[in-house]
């Protein structure tokens, strides 16, 4: 399901404006998806707060709340913030901030192996 | 009358001085698996001893006739304190667990929306190097940025991924969660912060070890050097030293420490078993 959600969101990003379910469905032409499937995914993304939904006559138009870059930046921020002193441990990074002493110790350890 | 006193003293010892001592015994990290066991058994034994002290005080007063009004008051107080301790623990565990699960699920959902998946790894298009995992019962993710993929040699990247896979396999998140909950329940008077910090170092050390078993140390050290974030001001990480320095220290040491490991495991077992055998069993037998 995640892959489908990504495809639908990417279709909206590439349209770069509020679009109806039908337009998104057309955009995903090559994927052989049922219109109702696209609508289900749009609805779910709207409920998750990823898309905004605006009424347009009898139908809805959908627009992503954030650009792809903004969403990526948001995730990066959450991941990097988690390495600070007041981490909440939701995400555990491979390595966090390093002091000059830490880096020096790392280089020494690498030199020992050389 | 002896049981509550012994258990109470034990609870105090296990909650304060012992974690304090353990957190200063840095060589303990050379046997990270055994050390992890010791920290867990210390925390569990401390909680059990504290609960046992309250309960045994209450029963001591009520089970041996004649029961004076003062005995009833003491028993009620002991029971109330025990109930508060237990409630704090349960509430804190629940709060920590739900908060972490929500944060992780929200993060994972958005990762799935923007990341390219390659070889089971989610890749974010970003110029800052990052590598982390999102643990979860219903689906975990290993996430790296494009910059990480580009800047690391293949062996280095594999070391990073193996490190993260080891976190997920060993469910290190659950251990961290337990100690976070303990710290939230008793932020003062017990050395819960020291315990939490040390356990955080230990899970990294364990994951580093796992990465070295399948790859080589050079690759892991190289990856650490490449991905270590912007220099933090010296000393900002506290006197106990940084987690990274501790990891490097353990990585440099390749000698086996079988005697230490065995001793630490024995200590962990003793801490849990001895109070049970010497104090709790006689007490339960006395009740019967």
Distances (CA, A) of A5 to A10, A44, A105, B115, B172: 8, 9, 45, 12, 30
- Percent of the residues in chain B that have a pLDDT greater than 90, as a whole number: 62
A51 contacts A64 by C-beta, under 8 angstroms: yes
* A29-87 pLDDT per residue, tens: 888 889 999 999 999 999 999 999 999 888 899 999 999 999 999 999 888 875 544 45
Nearest to B178 by CA among B164, B189, B192, B166: B192
Q: Which pLDDT belongs to residue B240?
A: 43
Tokens encoding B23:
């957190």
Checking DSSP bridges between strand B229-232 and strand B116-118, what pairing results, if any?
unpaired
* Contact criterion met (CB < 8 Å) for A106 and B221: yes
At residue A49, φ and ψ (nearest 5 deg) are: 85, 10
A56 contacts A41 by C-beta, under 8 angstroms: no
Question: Which residue from A91, A102, A106 is facing B132, i.e. has the nearest CB?
Answer: A91
Count of CB atoms situated within 10 Å of the CB of B31: 24
pLDDT at B21 exceeding the cut of 90? yes
For the segment B95-101, the average pLDDT, to the nearest whole number, is 91
DSSP H helical ranges for chain B: 2-15, 17-24, 32-63, 69-114, 146-151, 154-169, 172-185, 192-214, 217-227, 243-252, 258-275, 281-287
Closest-CA distance, A5 to chain B, in angstroms, reads 7
pLDDT at B92 exceeding the cut of 60? yes
Closest-CA distance, A31 to chain B, in angstroms, reads 17
DSSP string for B68-119: -HHHHHHHHHHHHHHHHHHHHHHHHHHHHHHHHHHHHHHHHHHHHHHPEEET
* Contact criterion met (CB < 8 Å) for B143 and A79: yes
For the segment B196-210, the average pLDDT, to the nearest whole number, is 92
Give the C-alpha separation, B114 to A4, whole Å: 12
Q: What is the separation, in whole angstroms, between the first and last Cα of chain B?
A: 17
* B150 in contact with A, Cβ within 8 Å: no
pLDDT at B153 exceeding the cut of 80? yes
Question: Which residue from B100, B110, B245 is facing A102, i.e. has the nearest CB?
Answer: B245
- Report residue B254's pLDDT band, with 50, 70 and 90 as the boundaries: confident
- Report residue B137's pLDDT band, with 50, 70 and 90 as the boundaries: confident
pLDDT at A8 exceeding the cut of 50? yes
Tokens encoding B176:
């961290």
Where in chain B are the domains? Answer: 2-287
CA dihedral B1, B6, B7, B10 (to 10 degrees): 160
* Contact criterion met (CB < 8 Å) for B237 and A93: no
Please tell me which residue, B288 or B119, carries the higher pLDDT value. B119
| Whether this model's pTM surpasses 0.90 | no
Q: Which pLDDT belongs to residue B237?
A: 39
Query: Which residues are registered as beta bridge partners of A60?
Result: A55
pLDDT at B220 exceeding the cut of 90? yes
Q: Which pLDDT belongs to residue A1?
A: 67
Residues of A in contact with B114 (CB under 8 A): 6, 68, 71-72, 75
- Percent of the residues in chain B that have a pLDDT greater than 70, as a whole number: 95
Closest-CA distance, A40 to chain B, in angstroms, reads 16
Q: Which pLDDT belongs to residue B234?
A: 46
Q: Coil, strand, or helix at residue B168?
A: helix
For the segment B149-154, the average pLDDT, to the nearest whole number, is 94
pLDDT at B235 exceeding the cut of 70? no
Closest-CA distance, A108 to chain B, in angstroms, reads 10
Mutual orientation of helices B69-114 and B172-185 as an angle, nearest 10°?
140
- Report residue B18's pLDDT band, with 50, 70 and 90 as the boundaries: very high
Give the C-alpha separation, B267 to B270, whole Å: 5
* Contact criterion met (CB < 8 Å) for A89 and B100: yes
pLDDT at A108 exceeding the cut of 70? yes
* B168-189 pLDDT per residue, tens: 999 999 999 999 999 989 887 7
Q: Which pLDDT belongs to residue B230?
A: 57
- Report residue B247's pLDDT band, with 50, 70 and 90 as the boundaries: very high
Output the average pLDDT for chain A: 87
CB contact set of B31 (below 8 Å; sequence gap of 6+): B257, B260, B261, B264
Distances (CA, A) of A17 to A23, A58, B114: 11, 19, 18
Domains of chain A from N-terminus onward: 2-64 (1.10.10.10), 69-113 (no CATH)
Give the C-alpha separation, B130 to B147, whole Å: 8
pLDDT at B164 exceeding the cut of 60? yes
Output the average pLDDT for chain B: 88
Nearest to B229 by CA among A78, A99, A50: A99
């Amino acid at each position: 399901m995640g892959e489908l959600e990504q495809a639908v969101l990417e279709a909206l990003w590439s349209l770069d404006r509020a679009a109806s379910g039908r337009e998104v469905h057309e955009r995903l032409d090559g994927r052989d998806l049922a219109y109702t499937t696209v609508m289900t995914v749009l609805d779910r993304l709207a409920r998750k707060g990823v898309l905004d939904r605006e009424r347009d006559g009898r139908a809805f138009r959908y627009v992503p709340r954030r650009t792809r870059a903004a969403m990526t930046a948001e995730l990066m921020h959450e991941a990097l913030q988690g390495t600070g002193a007041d981490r909440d441990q939701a995400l555990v990074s491979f390595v966090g901030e390093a002091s000059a002493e830490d880096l020096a110790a790392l280089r020494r350890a690498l030199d020992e192996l050389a | 009358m002896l049981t509550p006193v012994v258990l109470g003293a034990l609870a105090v010892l296990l909650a304060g001085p012992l974690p304090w001592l353990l957190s200063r015994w840095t060589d303990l990290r050379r046997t990270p698996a055994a050390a992890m066991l010791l920290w867990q058994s210390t925390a569990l034994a401390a909680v059990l001893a504290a609960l046992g002290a309250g309960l045994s005080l209450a029963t001591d007063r009520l089970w041996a006739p004649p029961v004076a009004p003062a005995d009833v008051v003491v028993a009620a107080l002991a029971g109330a304190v025990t109930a508060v301790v237990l409630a704090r623990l349960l509430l804190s565990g629940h709060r920590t667990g739900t908060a972490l699960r929500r944060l992780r699920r929200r993060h994972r959902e958005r990762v799935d929306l923007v990341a390219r998946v390659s070889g089971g790894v989610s890749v974010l298009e970003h110029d800052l190097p990052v590598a982390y995992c999102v643990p979860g019962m219903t689906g975990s993710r290993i996430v790296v940025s494009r910059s990480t993929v580009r800047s690391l040699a293949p062996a280095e990247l594999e070391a990073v991924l193996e490190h993260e896979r080891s976190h997920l396999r060993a469910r290190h998140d659950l251990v961290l969660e337990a100690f976070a909950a303990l710290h939230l329940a008793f932020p003062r008077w017990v050395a819960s912060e020291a315990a939490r910090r040390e356990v955080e170092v230990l899970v990294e050390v364990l994951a580093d070890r796992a990465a070295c078993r399948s790859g080589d140390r050079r690759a892991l050290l190289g990856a650490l050097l490449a991905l270590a974030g912007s220099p933090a001001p010296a000393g900002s990480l506290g006197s106990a030293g940084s987690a990274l320095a501790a990891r490097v220290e353990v990585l440099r040491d390749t000698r086996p420490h079988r005697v230490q490991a065995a001793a630490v495991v024995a200590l962990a077992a003793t801490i849990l078993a001895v109070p049970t055998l010497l104090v709790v069993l006689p007490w339960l037998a006395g009740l019967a």
